[in-house]
A = this chain, B = another copy of it.
Amino acid sequence: MPPAAHPLTAPLLAGNRRALAQAITLAESTRPDHEAQAQQLLAEVGGQRKQTVRVGLTGVPGVGKSTFIEALGVQLADAGHRVAVLAVDPSSARTGGSIMGDKTRMPRLTVHPNAFIRPSPSGGTLGGVARRTREALLLCEAAGYGVVLVETVGVGQSETQVAAMTDLFVLLTLHGAGDELQGIKRGIMELADVCVVNKADTDPAAANRAQSELTAALSLLTPHSAVWHPRVLQVSSVSGAGVDSVWEAVQAYTATVDLPAKRRTQTAAWFDDLLREVAWRNFLQQTDAAALARLRAEVLGGTLTPVQGVSRLRPPESGPE
């Protein structure tokens, strides 16, 4: 006799918002029994092969991320799409509040019947937050949210993590002088499938310049897809002008790229990341922490080479020292 289905499975698959919120709470919990329940749920709902699109988003503070997500999300939700918004923000525990926690920043989307907004899981390492966000993403899709927007505040490697769990990555920028654009973090431009010059209406000439500069900069980089060339678009999130062009780019992208293959690659990478996490945890459990700290100090002090330091950790394998 197979084990009984989890009580949240049926309402989740029926698109019940409360069930989805509860399921994500289980996935975010660090209690072993919750974790086991979340894995059961994920296994039970994971077989669903719905057509969905996962969009990663980033941009420096002040670029207007919330306003843009609200504009895009409301437009999609009004058109009948079910839209979920998630966030990866490993700093949210430290700063005392998630960027997304304040739902008043997306007042229209928050109350839209077709939208689901979830604050970032607070605290934990980036790896932990990213893992829980991945699981939340799968749960949202199981609940029928065909568009999932995953926002990152750009702490540490969070963009790389978000790019690794989404189908395409949108970089929000501002027009303005080079100085303003210099907020773009190292490596981020390389992840971008779509660049958005936000608040374009406040200075059309500057927005045109920014669009040209970003286009030129992107053209210097080898595209990371053989079939997709990054687009640079102008948007005014407040008036809504240009927001549809972003969605057009998303659709053009998904029509061009082999998404199933991309997702299989991402699943494999996720599995490998988890294996390395396990390997590292096992290693730390099997290793004398005080001895490790001593060796590290000697390596940094220059009395041992890194290779020597590491080799002294290993149990002697054979022969005299």
Contacts and interface: CB of A to CB of B under 8 A. Distances in A.
A307 B131 contact: yes
The interface residues of chain A, by DSSP majority, are classed as helix
A263 to B, nearest CB: 10
Nearest to A282: B283
Interface in A174-202: 178, 181-187, 189-190
B307 A189 contact: no
Contact of A306 (B224, B270, B276, B314): B270
A221 B302 CA distance: 34
Nearest to A284: B279
Interface stretch (A12-20, A39-47, A239-247): A39-47
B219 A182 contact: yes
A43 B190 CA distance: 40
A299 interface: yes
B184 A219 contact: no
Given A276-B276, A279-B282, A221 B310 contact: no
Interface in A18-49: 39, 42-43, 46-47
Interface string A275-314: 1111110110010000010001001101111111111011
Nearest to A268: B300
Contacts of A187: 187, 190
B267 A306 contact: yes
Contact of A275 (B131, B220, B271, B283): B283
A274 B224 CA distance: 29
A299 B271 contact: yes
A222 interface: yes
B304 A43 contact: yes
A299 B216 CA distance: 40
A111 interface: no
Interface in A202-240: 213-214, 216-217, 219-222, 224
Contact of A184 (B216, B222, B224, B286): B222
Chain A interface residue bracket vs B = 35 or more
A222 B306 contact: no
A150 B310 CA distance: 24
Contacts of A268: 296, 299-300
Contact of A308 (B42, B178, B307): B42
B309 A271 contact: yes
A224 B178 contact: no
A310 B178 contact: no
Interface string A48-74: 000000000000000000000000000
Interface string A82-126: 000000000000000000000000000000000000000000000
Contacts of A224: 186
Across the A-B interface, give the 8 residue pairs with the lowest CB-CB distance, nearest first.
A279-B283, A271-B306, A274-B310, A217-B217, A186-B190, A270-B306, A42-B305, A178-B219
